[in-house]
A and B are shown apart, each in its own frame.
Chain A
Amino acid sequence: MNYVPGTASLIDDIDKKHLVLLRDGRTLIGFLRSIDQFANLVFHQTVERIHVGKKFGDIPRGIFIVRGENVVLLGEMDMDKPCDAVLQQVSIEEILEEQRLQQQAKQETEKVKMQVLKERGLSIPKADNLDEY
Chain B
Amino acid sequence: MTLLAQGPLMMIGRRNTSAWRGWKGVPQAGAWPGKSNGDRVTPTWSRGRARRRGPRRVPGSVHPGGRPGHRGAGCGPEPLPPPARAPWLRPGLLPVAAPPSLRPHLHHPPNQLPGGNSSSSGMHPSSMMSYQQQQQMLCRGSGPMGQMASPSIWENSMGFGPVSRSPGLIPHMEDSPLMSIIKEVGLPKQPHPLRGEDPRDLSERVLPPRSTSPVIGSPPVRAVPIGTPPKQPMSLNHQIHHPTAVHVRAPLQHRYPPPFPDRLSPNTLLNLANNPMCRGPFPPGVGPVLSQLQRAQMLNSQVAGFPRGVGPPPMLPGGGGFRPFFGGPPPPPHHRMPPPPLHGPPIYHTTHLHPQHRRMLTQRMQSRPMGVGLDRRSRDPYSNLMTQREKEWVAKIQMMQLQSTDPYLDDYYYQNYYEKLEKRQERERDSSKKEHTTRLITPQVAKVEHTYRPVQFAGSLGKLTVSSVNNPRKMIDAVVTSRSDDEEKREKQVWNKRRQILYTVEKMYSSLLEVQDFEKRFVHAAEEERGALLERHKTHTETLCTLLTHTEQAGRVSDEQCVTIMSVRKGKRLISRLLPFLPAQQAAAVVMAIARNLPALAKKDKQDQVLCWLVEPVAVVIQSLSSAALTDLLQEIQGREGNLASVLQNKLGVTLLYLVLSEGDRMQSSDPNCQLMDDNRWTELVFSVARELLAAPSSTLAPPLFTPPNLLGLFARYVDRQSLEQLQEKLQISTLTS
Distance (Å) between the CB of A24 and the closest chain B CB? 8
- Collect the chain B residues with CB atoms within 8 Å of residue A34's CB: 11, 14, 385-386, 390
**Chain A, 1-31, contact with B by CB distance < 8 Å: what is the 0/1 string?**
1111111010100111000000000000001
B12 in contact with A65 (CB, 8 Å): yes
User: What distance in Å separates the Cβ of A39 from its nearest Cβ neighbour in chain B?
Assistant: 10
Q: Write the nearest CB–CB distance from B219 to chain A, whole angstroms.
A: 21
B384 in contact (CB, < 8 A): yes
Q: List B370-408 residues whose CB lies under 8 Å from chain A.
A: 373, 376-377, 380, 382-386, 390-392, 394-395, 397-399, 402
**A58 CB to nearest chain B CB (Å):** 14
Residue of A nearest to B402 (CB): A7
Q: Which residue of B lies closest to A70 (CB)?
A: B1
Interface range, B side: 35 or more
Residue B9 CB within 8 A of the other chain: yes
For B346, the closest partner residue in chain A by CB is A5
CB distance from A95 to the nearest CB of B (A): 16
Residues in chain B near residue A7, CB distance under 8 A: 398, 402
List, in ascending order, chain B residues with CB within 8 A of A79's CB: 376
Q: Are B502 and A3 closer than 8 Å at their CB atoms? A: no
Q: Which of A49-57, A85-93, A105-113, A125-133 contacts B (4 or more CB under 8 A)?
A: A125-133
A36 with B499: CB separation less than 8 A: no
Q: Which residues of A contact B11 (CB under 8 A)?
A: 34, 42
Q: Are A4 and B377 in contact (CB under 8 A)?
A: no
Q: Is the CB of B382 within 8 A of A44?
A: yes
Q: Which residues of A contact B498 (CB under 8 A)?
A: 128
Neighbouring B residues of A118 by C-beta, 8 Å = none
Query: Are B380's CB and A15's CB within 8 A?
Result: yes
Contact, CB under 8 Å: B607 / A11: no
B358–A6 CB distance below 8 A: yes
Q: Which residue of A lies closest to B5 (CB)?
A: A63
B227 located at the interface, meaning its Cβ lies under 8 Å from any Cβ of chain A in the complex = yes
Q: Given that A4-B399, A11-B394 are contacting pairs, would A42 and B382 also be in contact in the complex, using a CB cutoff of 8 Å?
A: no
Closest to B2 in A: A61
Q: Which of B184-192, B235-243, B349-357, B511-519 contacts A (4 or more CB under 8 A)?
A: B349-357
B448 on the interface (CB 8 Å rule)? no
Residues on B with beta carbons closer than 8 Å to the beta carbon of A129 = 569, 607
Q: Mark A32-74, 1 if CB is under 8 A from B, else 0.
A: 0111110010101000100000000000011111000000000
> What residue in chain A is nearest B339 (Cβ atoms)?
A15
CB < 8 Å neighbour of A36 from B14, B382, B503: B14
Q: Would you list which residues of chain B between 1 and 24 have a CB under 8 Å from chain A?
A: 2-6, 9, 11-14
Across the interface, do B386 and A33 meet the contact criterion of CB distance under 8 Å?
yes
Known A-B contacts A14-B386, A42-B11; A37 and B570 likewise in contact (beta carbons under 8 Å):
no
B347 at interface by CB-CB < 8 Å: yes
User: B386–A9 contact, CB under 8 A?
Assistant: no
**Complex: chain B residue closest to A128, CB-CB:** B498
B570 pairs with A65, CB closer than 8 A: no
CA distance A6 to B365 in the complex (A): 11
A1 touches B361 (CB 8 A): yes
Q: Is B684 an interface position by the 8 A CB rule? A: no
List the A side residues contacting B9 at CB < 8 Å.
Answer: 33, 44, 63
A4 and B382 in contact, given A36-B229, A61-B2, A62-B3 (Cβ under 8 angstroms): no
Contact A16 B373, CB 8 Å, known A6-B358, A6-B361, A31-B382: yes
Q: B384–A2 contact, CB under 8 A?
A: no
B121-173: which residues lie under 8 A (CB-CB) from chain A? none
Q: Do residues A133 and B503 form an inter-chain contact, with CB atoms below 8 A?
A: yes
Chain A residues positioned under 8 Å from B352 (CB to CB): 6
Given A2-B342, A5-B350, verify A64-B3 contact (CB < 8 Å): yes
Main secondary structure of the interface of A (DSSP, over half): loop
**B696 contacts A by Cβ under 8 Å:** no
* Residue in B3, B358, B383, B392 whose beta carbon sits within 8 Å of that of A65 in the complex: B3
B579 nearest CB across to chain A (Å):
19
Asked if B423 is at the interface (CB within 8 A of a chain A CB), the reply is: no
| Option from A6, A11, A64 in Cβ contact (under 8 Å) with B347 | A6
Instruction: For B266, give the chain A residue with the smallest CB separation.
Output: A37
Q: Is there contact, CB below 8 Å, between A131 and B502?
A: yes
Which of A1, A34, A64, A128 has its CB near the most chain B CB atoms (within 10 A)? A34
Residue in B closest to A38 when the chains form the complex, CB atoms: B227
Interface contact B402-A64, CB-CB below 8 Å: no
Do B568 and A37 touch across chains, with their CB atoms under 8 A apart? no
> In the assembly, what is the distance between CA of A79 and CA of B101, in Å?
53
Q: Are B394 and A37 in contact (CB under 8 A)?
A: yes
Quick check: A4 and B384 within 8 Å, CB to CB? no
> Within the complex, which residue of B357, B365, B385, B569 is in contact with A131, where a contact is CB–CB below 8 Å?
B569
Minimum Cβ distance to chain A for residue B377 (Å) = 5
Residues of B within 8 A of A31 (CB): 380, 382
List of B residues within 8 angstroms of A63 by Cβ: 3, 5, 9, 12
Residues in B with CB closer than 8 Å to A4 are 350, 395, 398-399, 402
Shortest Cβ distance from A85 into chain B, in angstroms? 22
Shortest beta-carbon distance from B439 to chain A in Å: 16
Nearest B residue to A33, CB-CB = B385
By the criterion CB–CB under 8 Å, are B499 and A133 in contact? yes
Report B168 CB to chain A, min CB distance, Å.
31
Answer yes or no: B343 CB below 8 A from chain A CBs: yes
Contact of B384 among A15, A35, A133 (CB under 8 A): A15
Q: Does B506 contact A (CB under 8 A)?
A: yes
Closest to A11 in B: B391
Which B residues lie within 8 Å of A40 (CB)? 14
A15 CB contacts on chain B under 8 angstroms: 377, 380, 382-385
- A16–B352 CA distance with the chains assembled, in angstroms: 28
**Considering the chains assembled together, what is the distance between the CA atoms of A1 and B342 in angstroms?**
11
* A6-B391 contact, Cβ under 8 Å, with A37-B398, A133-B502: no
Of A9, A33, A35, A65, the residue contacting B13 (CB under 8 A) is A65
**Most chain B CB within a 10 A radius of its CB, from A6, A35, A79, A128:** A6
Contact A5 B395 (CB under 8 A): no
Apart from A2-B342, A131-B569, what are 17 other A-B pairs with CB-CB below 8 Å? Answer: A6-B352, A6-B353, A6-B361, A11-B391, A11-B394, A14-B386, A15-B384, A31-B382, A35-B386, A35-B394, A37-B394, A40-B14, A42-B11, A61-B4, A62-B3, A63-B9, A79-B376
- A selection of 13 A-B contacts at a CB cut-off of 8 Å is A3-B343, A3-B392, A3-B395, A5-B346, A6-B350, A6-B353, A36-B14, A65-B3, A65-B12, A131-B502, A131-B569, A133-B499, A133-B506
Give me the 4 closest cross-chain CB pairs, A-B, nearest first: A3-B395, A6-B353, A37-B397, A5-B347
